[in-house]
Amino acid sequence: MAWVDATTESLGPEDVRLPAARGRVLAEAIHALGPIPCENRAALDGFAIQASASLGASSYNPIRLPLIGVNAGDALPAGADAVVPLQLAERDDQACIEIVEPVAAGDNVEQQGAVATIGATMAPAGTRLAARHIGLLAVAGLSLVSVVRRPRVQILIVKPTKGAESEDANASMIRVAVERDGGVIGECVAVERDQMAIGTALIETDGTGRGTNDHSAAALAGAGELAIHGVALCPGETAGLGRTVSGLPVVLLPGAPASCLWVYELFAGRAIRRLGGRVAELPCRSRGMTTARKIVSSLGMTEICPVRFGAAGTIEPLPSFAEIGLMAAVSADGFVIVPQGSEGYPQGARLTVYLYDEC
């Protein structure tokens, strides 16, 4: 992970139209160029009046005023400084209203600058844009917004030798995970399981590659740099990390689907999230929970252990990824990451559990 962090940084900015900016990461802070709103406005549908003219109004002393209808959001006409709600005014046949209560200046008026004064920060750099941000920026009059570019990801599929259909299965899975992490999938290229073919493909696409084990590792070493080959991670031991000649990061994903997924999540996904300006960590929330049963892990390997929720906020371990592959991910409510130096946890231990509802 340190290698990924040292190799990748946020890409440069591009302008996108506001309605297409959902989930994008702001490249720079956005400040208000003028007061928002830019004028005093009616806060609700009603009648604009000068408040001082309503002084002394009561049911014994109804006051007649000229009818100036306004809808919520309309600029107040010159001279008006308050709005009488529809239901508090009696409309007569002439162009007049009658009110029986005084209204204070500013009542039902959205003041100029109330939402933001000139120069106020509406969103800091790094904000991931949600509906509320897009609404505010649209209110401020923006139509384009400067966001971090989306990393382009190429998937090279090393063709299976025989009997294994999992290569295409992996491609579907990784495609979806890349989208979740904000990457854009370029083409998906199938290459022969052959060092020369993989090397040529890496050079031609000069993009993130994907292959299995020795052929791919040798091909990457020959067509750039193989920085790391083999990690103390279960599942995912045969992962490889490196760069093409032009410096683009390459992650070698194992062929077994569960290993493929975890090497993606921890290394390739991390690179994509960092390049796209997002938080590098796994895109799922975590929570402290107590394990109702012992969790066993091999010393010397970081192990991803699937767990399900038990009674009263506890968790229980499930059969491992090594045993039941992706079924472990699909059956689980979450997972625990047991570090390399630990043999696991006794019953009753308090652990950080990553929850599967988002990732």
Per CB under 8 A, the list member of 7, 34, 50, 74 interacting with a copy of itself is 74
Per CB under 8 A, the list member of 15, 58, 62, 73 interacting with a copy of itself is 73
User: Pattern of binders to a copy of itself over 121-150, x per CB under 8 A?
Assistant: -xx-----xxxxxxxx-xx-x---------
Site for a copy of itself in 28-67 (CB under 8 A): 36, 39, 41, 43-45
Whose Cβ is closer to a copy of itself: residue 46's or residue 207's? 46
Whose Cβ is closer to a copy of itself: residue 189's or residue 326's? 326
**Dist. CA 305–CA 334, nearest whole Å:** 9
Minimum distance from residue 61 beta carbon to a copy of itself (Å): 29
Maximum C-alpha span of the chain: 97
**Dist. CA 347–CA 198, nearest whole Å:** 47
Minimum distance from residue 157 beta carbon to a copy of itself (Å): 12
**Dist. CA 309–CA 337, nearest whole Å:** 16
Q: How many helices (H) and strands (E) does the chain have?
A: 9, 25
218 scored as a contact of a copy of itself (CB under 8 A): no
Which of 72, 39, 61, 66 has the alpha carbon at shortest distance from 50?
66
256 scored as a contact of a copy of itself (CB under 8 A): yes
The HSE-up count of residue 350 (CA atoms within 13 Å, CB side) is 2
User: In this structure, are residues 274 and 5 in contact, taking their beta carbons and an 8 Å threshold?
Assistant: yes
**Dist. CA 60–CA 21, nearest whole Å:** 56
Per CB under 8 A, the list member of 168, 206, 225, 316 interacting with a copy of itself is 168
Please state whether the peptide bond connecting residue 37 to the residue before it is cis, i.e. omega within 30 degrees of 0. Answer: yes
Minimum distance from residue 247 beta carbon to a copy of itself (Å): 27
Per CB under 8 A, the list member of 102, 160, 222, 310 interacting with a copy of itself is 160
Whose Cβ is closer to a copy of itself: residue 321's or residue 345's? 321
Residue 178 has which token pair?
């890349």
Minimum distance from residue 4 beta carbon to a copy of itself (Å): 19
